[in-house]
Amino acid sequence: MAKHKKIQDFDLKYALLRNYVDSSLRRSYRHIRYSGKERIPQEGAVIYAPNHTNALMDALVVLAMDRKAKVFVARADIFKNRTLAKIFTFLKIMPIMRLRDGIDEVKKNNKTIEKSVDVLKDKVPFCIFPEGQHQAKYSMQMLSKGIFRIAFQAQALMPDVPLYIVPVGLLYGNFFRFRSTVHVQVGEPINVGEFLAEHEGECAQEQMTAMRTILAERMRSTTLYLPNDENYDAACEICAAAVGEQTEVVKSEQGRLDGLDAKYEANKRTAKYIEQLKESEPEKAERLFALGNKAYKMRMGKKISLASVVAKRPVVSRMMGLLLVLLTLPYCVAMSILSFPIYALSHLVCQKLIKDPAFRNSVRYVLKLVLWPLLMIVYTIVGFVTRPWQWALLAALVTLPAPAVAQDVWRLLRVTVSDIKLLANGKLRDIYKEIREIMFNK
């Protein structure tokens, strides 16, 4: 009798596709920075616990963290279509019910939990988003119980194997724009066996509550956490206004850092300062939030990008970028035209069919993943039919990065317009200046 193939087993077709998916992901962002990977245990079984802010892109970023295959879970309603269910299973994704699906449906999770435990017993990394649903904010939602049920059951079935829950913080420069940035911070792992030994006298519910508190704290420590309250938008503005000077402080204290590492530390410092200010000097904090809210409303009303606020010397950097575009204008225009079908279709689908903006980057990514190879085949065939093979081959090679080139040109033009608007808005710049004066006691 043939052996039943398990979801975690090696699959050659999956392995080949994985190379293309990882490569395409890298071209979808200007910079992806993985920090703290040395914390990932090399022995035993691992459950990754990332925050969930950007739909499918979160899973892809975690998957690309190393070359190991990983098994994921996703909400069960997307498995209702049989064809999609087969595709998701091929991609090593299992369904999991959520409480909103009803108690009877949640009971079906027992089968998924059993498969998850089997994945961990085979030492294949398993990934579950403990928040249960995504939220495009620099914040966090309450953690669901699924990850703890899986961890406790897995540890009980393999008592001699160390099992770890590894928090992972995903911090996007922009949740809704392609060619943004991603900072990935691996946090301090939780040794499940040691935790259960320390809480041996407690019931399962008490153990779950205690571990939930620990994991939530460690997850918050791996990313930028701003309380999701009435001052959330103001806090984002404050972080953006302060990030330039705060980054310089971080670099002066910690030496050379990757740009995203420095900005990550800078934003966390600002968030911490805001929370401390609320306790120690509430009137000062109230003034800071008032300025932040005023800046947010004014910036949104003028359609100014937060990227313009963050940029240290926006005019100089953008002008240099525009000069480069002008010098390579024929190439940039050609690449934009060749990749236009993808972005036209993406725009149509996102505007007409996708209500949740947090899903739009995922849709854009999948459409590019599928359509660009097909377009490249068409363009290459046309090239070889109409031109000598040497020129056709050269044209095919220089056309490969067309989607990224087109997106970067569009981003540069869009943000440059935003920079000009900010430069012309003296009142808004004065507000940001006052925010910095309060932040740095000037």
How many C-beta atoms surround the C-beta of residue 25 within 10 A? Answer: 18
The closest of 333, 407, 341 to 379, measured between CA atoms, is 341
Residue 127 lies in a domain: yes
Is the per-residue pLDDT at 27 higher than 60?
Answer: yes
Q: Which residues, at least 6 apart from 304, have a Cβ–Cβ distance to it below 8 Å?
A: 418, 421, 422, 425, 428
User: Tell me: the pLDDT tens digits for 343-375?
Assistant: 999 999 998 888 888 888 999 999 999 999 999
**Among the three residues 167, 186, 221, which one is the final residue of a domain in this structure?**
221
Contact 191, 164 (CB under 8 A): yes
Q: Are β-strands 71-75 and 31-35 bridged in parallel, bridged antiparallel, or unpaired?
A: unpaired
Res 3: pLDDT: 61
Q: Place 2 in a pLDDT band, splitting at 50, 70 and 90.
A: very low
- Give the CA count within 13 Å in the CB-facing half-sphere of 315: 5
Sign of the alpha-carbon torsion through 247, 248, 254, 255: positive
User: Tell me: the pLDDT tens digits for 134-174?
Assistant: 899 999 999 988 899 899 989 998 999 999 999 999 999 99
| DSSP tally for the chain: helices H, then strands E | 18, 8
Same domain, 37 and 165: yes
Tokens linked to 360: 């739009």
Same domain, 90 and 211: yes
Same domain, 27 and 159: yes
Res 104: pLDDT: 56
- What is the average pLDDT across 184-206? 95
Tokens linked to 379: 């363009």
Over pLDDT 90: what percentage of the chain? 67
Residue 397 lies in a domain: yes
Cα gap 79→99, rounded to integer Å? 17
Is the per-residue pLDDT at 99 higher than 60?
Answer: no
Same domain, 74 and 207: yes
Same domain, 166 and 294: no
Same domain, 290 and 389: no
Same domain, 44 and 97: yes
User: Tell me: the pLDDT tens digits for 325-349?
Assistant: 888 889 999 999 999 999 999 999 9
CB burial of residue 30 (10 Å; 0-12, 13-18, 19+): middle
Residue 312 lies in a domain: no
Q: How many domains does the chain have?
A: 3
Same domain, 91 and 173: yes
Q: Are β-strands 45-50 and 126-127 bridged in parallel, bridged antiparallel, or unpaired?
A: parallel
Residue 308 lies in a domain: no
Helices (H), 29-137: 56-63, 82-90, 103-106, 109-121
Residue 226 lies in a domain: no
Res 115: pLDDT: 87
User: Tell me: the pLDDT tens digits for 52-63?
Assistant: 999 889 999 999
**Which residue range(s) make up the domain with 264?**
232-302
Is the per-residue pLDDT at 37 higher than 80?
Answer: yes
Res 1: pLDDT: 41
Same domain, 83 and 174: yes
Residue 442 lies in a domain: no
Res 178: pLDDT: 84
Helices (H), 306-401: 306-310, 314-327, 329-352, 360-386, 389-399
Q: Place 106 in a pLDDT band, splitting at 50, 70 and 90.
A: low
**If residue 35 lies in a helix (H) or strand (E), which one and from where to where?**
strand 31-35
Same domain, 180 and 263: no
Same domain, 284 and 324: no
User: Tell me: the pLDDT tens digits for 219-262?
Assistant: 999 999 999 999 999 999 999 999 999 999 998 888 777 889 99
Res 258: pLDDT: 82
Res 111: pLDDT: 79
Integer CA distances (angstroms), 437 to 176, 245, 442, in order? 30, 11, 5
Same domain, 283 and 331: no
